[in-house]
């Protein structure tokens, strides 16, 4: 599978620069989140990948879908992405934009991977400990990864703390194979 991040980065940076100049960083982040979420739905995927539709037809359908919820800048982005056959980048653009926004605000982004959804008490405890260490304004996201078997894995920037059962098993296997 092709890595989409290098392709998405120029779009995300241009959007961030434009939103920063117009003082609409948060609004653009919200719009990108809406478009990225919608781009994962079956209806939008089928529209984008439909060979019977021309690029112009796809643009018109997407513009009608989003015209009530997004700005003209986001509509222009959709048009450019459709013209360049890059609509599959929406999720990556959102992710990169979010990282740029967090860097701009000097916030930490923390992703917590869990095998099963933790209870509210456990979730609050994890969030409290992470916020006390990495700042009260840290963005904490929980993601389910059933392959972990149990435990959790915490990713902060480019560092990962693996406290999962899968991680411990892999470590043990590596030690036995030296």
Ranges of each domain in the chain:
5-103, 109-177
Q: Cα 80–81–84 angle (5° rounding)?
A: 85
Residue whose pair of structure tokens reads 């982004």 in the numeric block: 109
Is the model's pTM score more than 0.85?
Answer: no
Over the chain (178 residues), the average pLDDT of each successive run of 10 is 76 89 88 87 85 85 83 86 86 88 78 87 90 82 85 83 87 85
Q: What are the residues whose beta carbons fall under 8 Å from the beta carbon of 172, sequence distance 6 or more?
A: none
- Domain boundaries 5-103, corresponding CATH code: 1.10.520.20
- Residues pairing with 113 in the sheet: 143, 153
């Amino acid at each position: 599978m092709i890595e989409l991040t290098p392709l998405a980065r120029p779009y995300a940076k241009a959007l961030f620069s434009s939103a920063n100049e117009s003082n609409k960083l948060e609004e653009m982040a919200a719009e990108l989140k809406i478009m990225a979420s919608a781009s994962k739905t079956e209806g939008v995927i089928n529209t984008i990948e439909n060979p019977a539709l021309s690029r112009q037809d796809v643009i018109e359908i997407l513009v009608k879908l989003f015209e009530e919820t997004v700005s003209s800048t986001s509509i222009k982005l959709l048009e450019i992405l459709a013209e360049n056959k890059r609509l599959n980048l929406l999720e990556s653009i959102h992710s990169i934009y979010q990282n740029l926004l967090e860097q701009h605000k000097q916030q930490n982004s923390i992703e917590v991977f869990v095998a099963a959804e933790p209870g509210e008490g456990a979730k609050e405890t994890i969030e409290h400990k992470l916020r006390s260490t990495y700042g009260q304004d840290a963005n904490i996201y929980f993601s389910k990864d059933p392959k972990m078997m149990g435990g959790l894995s915490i990713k902060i920037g480019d560092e990962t703390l693996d406290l999962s059962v899968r991680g411990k098993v892999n470590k043990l296997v590596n030690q036995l194979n030296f």
